[in-house]
Amino acid sequence: MLEPPEILLLGPGPSPSSPYVRRAQSKPQLGHLDPAFVPYLDYAQAGLRRLFGTENTLTLPLAGTGSSGMEAIVANLVEPGDRVVVGVHGVFGVRFADSVRRAGGDVVEVVAEFGQSLDPDAMQAAIAAGPTKLCVVVHAETSTGVLTDLRPIAKAARAAGALFAVDCVTSIGGVPLNFDELGVDAAFCGTQKCLSVPPGLAPVTFSERALERVRARTHPVPFYFDTKLLNGYFGAERSYHYTAPISMIYALVASLEEIEAEGLEARYVRHREVSAALRRGLAPLGLTPLVPVEQATPMLTTVCYPAGVDDAAFRKHLRQQHHIEVGGGLGPLAGKVFRVGLMGHGARLENVLRALAAFGDALAAAGHTPDVSAALAAVHGD
Amino acid sequence: MLEPPEILLLGPGPSPSSPYVRRAQSKPQLGHLDPAFVPYLDYAQAGLRRLFGTENTLTLPLAGTGSSGMEAIVANLVEPGDRVVVGVHGVFGVRFADSVRRAGGDVVEVVAEFGQSLDPDAMQAAIAAGPTKLCVVVHAETSTGVLTDLRPIAKAARAAGALFAVDCVTSIGGVPLNFDELGVDAAFCGTQKCLSVPPGLAPVTFSERALERVRARTHPVPFYFDTKLLNGYFGAERSYHYTAPISMIYALVASLEEIEAEGLEARYVRHREVSAALRRGLAPLGLTPLVPVEQATPMLTTVCYPAGVDDAAFRKHLRQQHHIEVGGGLGPLAGKVFRVGLMGHGARLENVLRALAAFGDALAAAGHTPDVSAALAAVHGD
């Protein structure tokens, strides 16, 4: 019998889903073309547009994990030989570059150290240095917790006549996105971060400019990701492309209802405040965030281990003794940091308190002397 | 508030999920690498191997709808210029051929009329006529209800040194599959047919022979579908490839538990018996199945309309008055037939009785005089 334990998910995702979102998945299934299902699709697509900050018609929850959204962008917007500038300052930039290369794109990487911000001037120079077709940036790097300022890069891309695509997997629902205003031509995300829907959907959006590029392609797009076919189902026609993941879309609708009820601005404020509370509590424990607050994304805080704390033992202690999941470091940060996600339904003060108490306990188990009382007191600020 | 109506899903999919499967999705989320989640993955992969009739290590539920499984096979096993023989006798054969062409494959179609079986001799001749790299067949054509005998085609493919790939979207869990014994090198399916899990997963399996072919490729595989990367997560290593769709995998595990409890053989017998009961009830209503029983797949019965019955009105009557969904015809069969799925949890005698009564009512509304009493009596056989 399926009886998973209750683990508090404070890693880089999945985040905890609310009881309402969880229950939504159990609702009776409908056919993917049923007249009672279509309004849910409409609602989901409208809600996603609001979160992306776009009026793009082709805004939809793709069936697949977040990475499938990346693939959809690459599959539609990259042709062999295309010059593609990719900002690489974490694992997900590396992954995007890899995916573009697999599609035959001529990748120009603009690299920053993991944990550092991308240099907008370097991005701009790389975009301007050749006939750039596409520029790609990860908004909130899940591997480091760095938030990128999209504005100068969007401007540079537009000036060069390049399309601009954004990975907003971790940022959507946690910080404001205004993609139409910035001039973002394509974006993808996952549902398992600040939307607090279980993993399995990749919301994507494509601008009219991006779709023009698709129409001008000389190489075919793989069937599954073809925006023309996707538009048949997710556009006005509602014709069959594939059997949409009904229960996942129920969960997305439920989450969007909750987001609507809370209000977008209130939700962004909550993410900022809860993240700030966590940061205040770290110092008394002897912990320091990797990324300065000005460059950090609120929903994901990467924390440096003090000397002598073993990553695996620390996280095992949290998982076994406190039933808390946090993430380990990735790539060059492996073993040096852990990642704390306060995302969507998980971004709550009680989770910060529980997490800090557990961190203190795990540090004590590693021979440190964290001041847990001070940490918990610091949470509430001045 | 999300409150979908209760519709009896007797179309070509999604099929109704059991209450246990539906509830499974609401269980607390776990991290995709959590030690408590890995046993669920193990269980799901073992159960899928049993259903496919294979010992292939790389057997896994891909995150995406059924079509994503097709794409995974095409992405890994087709290189530009490869000669690929595709059996086309329905919409899903057309789709497979389309996907292969998009990947640069040189498609040789072996065509049969929609509703007819593929000619195994024609398949064999096409396979032998050139240096065939891959042969592709739809096992149970969801657009027509024809079940294909895979044995002679598998034999011809093996004799020619070609790989053999099967679309078993509608057949898995409803009829026995013995892919290792036959020599099937790759197969994909969906979860929303005879497994009665909501749509959103594409179980796939790849033989060692198929993976050798992947290793010998000169063209890269798209990131999302790369079997080498998928094997990192779904193989012994359990490393990160993507964030697996936790709640969907819960549903799959729950369904596999139910399948295990029922027994595979009993499940196949149930699908045959329920389908036979439906067929017996059609004649007194003045309805005839499109496909003779010897060539038909038990889980999906395509029914020809009598003269003067309007497809849209008939199905609307079923949906509005009886809360039953059946499928319309596709391609050349549009308007001429409707499709009745009795799949997985939906393959039950009470659903046959309810469906026949509703069909009778809808036919009467169209001015016909169906003998509903005789239809219901015929369900129970002699």
Domain spans of chain A, in order of start: 19-260, 263-379
Interface contact A261, partner B, CB < 8 A: no
Contact A5 B36 (CB under 8 A): yes
Inter-chain contact B31–A247, Cβ cutoff 8 Å? no
Residue type, A95: R
**Nearest residue, CB atoms, B220 vs list A102, A220, A319:** A102
Amino acid in the structure at residue A196: S
Q: Is the ipTM of this complex over 0.90?
A: yes
pLDDT value for A241: 85
Q: Determine, for residues A247 and B200 on separate chains, whether the beta-carbon distance falls below 8 Å.
A: yes
Residues of B in contact with A344 (CB under 8 A): none
> Are the CB atoms for B235 and B229 separated by under 8 Å?
no
Mutating which of B68, B247, B260 best tests the A interface, going by the most A Cβ atoms within 10 A? B247
Cite the DSSP H helix spans in chain A.
19-24, 38-52, 66-77, 91-102, 120-128, 151-159, 179-182, 208-215, 227-234, 246-262, 264-282, 311-322, 349-365, 372-379
Residues of chain A with pLDDT under 70: 382
pLDDT for the residue A1: 79
Q: What is the pLDDT of residue B8?
A: 98
Over residues B288-295, mean pLDDT: 97
In this complex, which of A25, A34, A220 lies closest to B25 when CB atoms are compared? A25
Q: How far apart are CA B160 and CA A216, in angstroms?
A: 39
CA dist., res. A303 & res. A305, Å (int): 7
Rounded CA separation B103/A103 (Å): 11
B18 and chain A: CB distance < 8 Å anywhere?
no
Which residue in the set B26, B34, B68 is minimally distant from A325, CB to CB?
B34
Give the pLDDT score at A54. Answer: 98
Q: Is B348 helix (H, G, I), strand (E, B) or coil?
A: coil
- Measured in angstroms, the CA of A136 and the nearest CA of chain B are apart by 16
Rounded average pLDDT over B311-327: 98
Nearest chain A alpha carbon to B193: A243
Residues of chain A found within 8 Å of residue B28, distances taken between Cβ atoms: 4-7, 16, 22
* Count of CB atoms situated within 10 Å of the CB of B181: 11
What CA–CA distance (Å, rounded) separates B347 from B342?
A: 4
pLDDT at A188: 98
From the list B16, B40, B224, the residue facing A71 with the nearest CB is B224
Q: What is the pLDDT of residues A81-129, one digit of tens each?
A: 999 999 999 999 999 999 999 999 999 999 999 999 999 999 999 999 9
Measuring CA to CA, which residue among B146, B233, B254 is closest to residue B191? B254
pLDDT, tens only, B23-60: 999 999 999 999 999 999 999 999 999 999 999 999 99
Chain A nearest-CA distance from B261, in A, is 11
Rounded to 10 degrees, the C-alpha dihedral A93/A94/A97/A99 comes to: -110
Reduce the secondary structure of A109-161 to three states and give it as a string.
Answer: EEECCCCCCCCHHHHHHHHHCCCEEEEEEECECCCCCEECCCHHHHHHHHHCC
Class of domain B19-260: alpha beta
Residue A34 to residue B7, Cβ atoms within 8 A: yes
Nearest to A14 among B29, B198, B248 (CB): B29
CA dihedral A260, A342, A198, B61 (to 10 degrees): 150
Window 45-74 of B, Cβ < 8 Å to A: 63-68, 70-71, 74
What is the largest distance, in Å, between two alpha-carbon atoms of chain A? 64
**Which residue in B1, B103, B244 is closest to A199 by CB distance?**
B244
B14 with A246: Cβ contact below 8 A:
yes
Q: Which residues contact B12 (CB under 8 A, 6 or more apart)?
A: B142, B143, B170, B193, B300, B327, B339, B341
Sheet holding B132-138, edge to edge: B58-63, B201-206, B186-188, B163-167, B132-138, B83-88, B106-111
Using CA atoms, how far apart are residues A24 and A29, in angstroms rounded to an integer? 10
CB contact under 8 A, B22 and A22: no
Task: Report the percent of chain B where pLDDT is more than 90.
Answer: 97
d(CA A159, CA A118): 19
Spatial strand order of the sheet with B288-289 comes to B288-289, B300-304, B337-341, B327-328
- What is the dihedral angle through the alpha carbons of B1, B5, B10, B12, rounded to the nearest 10 degrees? -30
10 Å CB burial of residue A198 (0-12, 13-18, 19+) is buried
Subunit contact A67:B242, Cβ cutoff 8 A: yes
Tell me whether residues A26 and B26 touch, CB distance under 8 A: yes
- The yes-or-no verdict on residue B382 having pLDDT over 70 is no
Distances (CA, A) of A249 to A149, A246, A254, B2: 31, 5, 8, 11
CATH architecture label of A263-379: Alpha-Beta Complex (3.90)
- For residue B241, the tally of other CB atoms under 10 A from its CB is 22
**B82 vs B100: CA distance, rounded Å:** 9
State pTM to two decimals.
0.98
The rounded distance, in Å, linking the Cα atoms of B94 and B361 is: 35
The secondary element (H helix, E strand) that includes residue A60 is strand A58-63
In this structure, the number of other CB atoms found within 10 A of the CB of residue A257 comes to 17
Read off the tokens for B270.
Answer: 């149930």
Chain A residues touching residue B247 (CB < 8 angstroms): 22, 25, 198, 200, 247-248, 251
Looking at residue A380, its pLDDT comes to: 87
How confident is the model over B57-105, as pLDDT tens digits?
999 999 999 999 999 999 999 999 999 999 999 999 999 999 999 999 9
